Structure 1
């Protein structure tokens, strides 16, 4: 057992931000579970586009589906492929789910990015995907948009696990954390159990630094009078933002409202650090893992980041250290006009658009794979 297992022991569960048919069939996921203590998997349209849109790994399954489903819509052909992968990953993780008594062992499948601003459609698709996969260790990914929050509450109330995605701001995170509590409270009112309902809040990290750093670099290049103060913030805003989100989480789970739910067996909605691959080569490639380690959290890593941490990561309780310094970083960012709220708001819109573009490309690639009879 190595550093990734140590990371889990420190409270930050290790999830893989990747899924691929060949990887699953060759036992790649099982190996990570055994060797590194991996306890979860996330997917998104971009990941599926890379997996399904290139090569021939899915062609046989698609041809078999087409034979029995002549004239099937492209979206149905995609869902057949995706659901098979998600079921396979869920089966691999089922022993983890059982061993940890539903506290972990989850695989995530995202609702269509086309309906990110449609509450009712999101609720309906979450139910459809949940029924289609039919695995208790599934999480349905719902974006943390304004329309997503009531969908999250309704989906949790229906007994469906939720991975809230595309969270960048503390305000958006707080809204969906409260939506999770609302869903659980509705189940309590209905005399339904809440002890095996799980959720994570996927808080994105590196994309924030990419945007803020670009603003800093531009202003420094232009000879801004605050250049030194600006340079001091480079690579620090995203981690500070995440640390303060976690500080709010700690206060929330200590509140009377949450404690009333916890007394009935409610599981906390863990913060999941997403977008943890480093995009600036000037930074250590384990930065967004090293600096965000703490109890009841998850870090979902692309394979490259997982490899880097396995080799040279540092395990220490970092999430709850230097919180006052994190507040200072965000206060400085505000003083210097870096407009974190504007950046995070724009990133939500960009994230939805990026996933929609990946979904366009994915469906286009599948459409090009003609049915066997054609």
Structure 2
């Protein structure tokens, strides 16, 4: 029998999570099938995913109407629907979570993107969602904006599992790691448990190439098309390996702390000239996660190549980013622009989602 190519990725220490959730995939048994056959070991969601799920099916209509009769706001209705889905998904992944001793099997739920630049409101909502889902294997997604960093710190200090999202740049990633380690150290100093806290830092990749690639032709750097995001990811992995080794980390690990895994997000190829499994094949390595849309999982199952690639060609990654800088492209400006655009995209999806709920409420 032919080896499942998606499952092969797990043998290199990388988890594959599904970047999708809706009621049908849970109730039909298809999510359970992905767990059993492909070794899918988690789920991520975001406002765009829920907007498509709620607008694109009638699965939520009755619950929207019932919640609407209680005079709840559209946002409260949305989180009521999302929490139901996330609870059901976390229950499906509980055996994965238990089997890996809490290293895997997570389902992520995002705070409102409208709060992306509001520290206190983000932290309050993260705690509220954490308590309402009430599952050890849920992760609350908080964006890696400057105000978000403070919310990440306080949420980690409160013992919440955090999926840090909308991460594009390496300097910000250094701050994200520091937020995690310093709050674990605070908890340890206070005599609090740190062995049950999990976190991932989600790098958004293909969007980097979408923005940078058009700039390369005019700078005689066209051979770097489709390479900047992967080079950034490899440099991030270098930072990860440095941060999660040595005396500082060993003190935390001795108390059961878990590494904050790097997660590759936005890994479907946006450029049709690229192989559709490009951003998976190039970044397979230990202590990482790749969160993948269903169609890309199917593509990898069909023709993907699973090899330990992440730590290879680090010199080339360094050279690629150096050439980009010499060519006059400031990657830090690019990544800040991508963060701003990412917030805007999620805000639009969230507002569209709230409008969809409003229109369903009135169809009584």
TM-score, structure 1 normalization: 0.95
User: Which digits, 9 at most, give the CA deviation of each residue in 1:237-281, with x for residues without a partner?
Assistant: 110000000001101111322111111110000000000000001
Verify the 8 A CA contact 1:273 1:299 in the aligned structure 2.
yes
Distance in 1 (CA, whole Å) between partners of 2:121 and 2:173 is 22
Secondary structure of the equivalent of 1:147? helix
Residue among 309, 315, 320 paired with 2:300: 309
Given that 2:64 and 2:361 are in contact with CA atoms closer than 8 Å, whether structure 1 keeps it comes out as: no
2-side partners of 1:370 and 1:301: how far apart? 32
2-structure distance, mates of 1:35, 1:55: 26
Contact residue 272 and residue 297 of structure 1 kept, 8 A: yes
- Deviations 1:80-111 (CA, angstroms, capped at 9, x unpaired): 11111101110100111011110000000000
SS of 1:132's partner is helix
Are residues 1:160 and 2:160 paired?
Answer: yes
Q: Is the deviation greater in 178-187 or in 295-304? A: 178-187
Runs of at least 5 residues in structure 2 that lack an aligned partner in the other structure: none
**Relative to structure 2, which stretch is displaced further, 325-334 or 1-10?**
1-10
* Contact 1:155/1:183 (<8 A) preserved: no
* Structure 2 equivalent of residue 300 of structure 1: 291
Which shifted more, 242-251 or 177-186?
Answer: 177-186
Work out the CA distance in 2 between the residues paired with 1:117 and 1:244.
27
Q: Provide the C-alpha distance between the structure 2 equivalents of 1:181 and 1:367, rounded to a whole number of angstroms.
A: 42
Partner of 1:236: 227
The 3-state SS of whatever aligns with 2:361 is: coil
| CA–CA separation in structure 2 for the residues paired with 1:2 and 1:60 | 39
User: Could you tell me which residue of structure 2 aligns to residue 272 of structure 1?
Assistant: 263
Q: Secondary structure of 1:19's partner?
A: coil
In structure 2, how many angstroms separate the alpha carbons of the residues matched to 1:142 and 1:358? 16
Name the CA distance, whole Å, in 1 between partners of 2:144 and 2:58.
34
1:57 aligns with 2:59: yes
Could you say which residue in structure 2 is the equivalent of 1:12? 14
| 2: CA distance, partners of 1:356 / 1:180 | 26
CA distance in 1, matches of 2:35, 2:355: 33
Q: What is the correspondence of 1:10-49 to structure 2 with a 5 Å cutoff?
A: 10-49=12-51
The answer for the alignment partner of 2:193 in structure 1 is 193
Q: Deviations over 1:131-155 (max 9, x none)?
A: 1111110000000011111211111
Q: State how far apart, in whole Å, the 2-side matches of 1:244 and 1:253 are.
A: 14
SS at match of 2:156: helix
State the distance in 1 between where 2:81 and 2:263 align: 26
SS at match of 1:308: helix
Contact 1:156/1:183, CA 8 A, preserved across alignment: yes
Question: 1:371 Cα shift?
Answer: 5.5
Please state whether the residue corresponding to 2:353 is helix, strand or coil. Answer: helix
| Cα displacement string for residues 260-318 of structure 1 (whole angstroms, at most 9, x for unaligned residues) | 11111100000000000000011111000000010000000001111111111111111
Distance of 2:90 and 2:100 partners within structure 1:
14
Cα pair 1:152 1:183 within 8 Å, conserved: no
CA distance in 1, matches of 2:72, 2:242: 50
2-structure distance, mates of 1:17, 1:137: 16
In the alignment, does 2:117 pair up with 1:126? Answer: no
State the shift of 1:186 in Å.
1.6
Offset of residue 164 of structure 1 = 0.1
The whole-number CA distance in structure 2 between the counterparts of 1:5 and 1:15 is: 12
The residue that corresponds to 2:243 in the other structure is 252
Counterpart Cα distance in 2 of 1:246 and 1:264: 24
User: 2:335 — aligned with what?
Assistant: 344
Matches within 5 A, 1:77-96: 77-96=77-96
TM-score normalized by the length of structure 2: 0.97
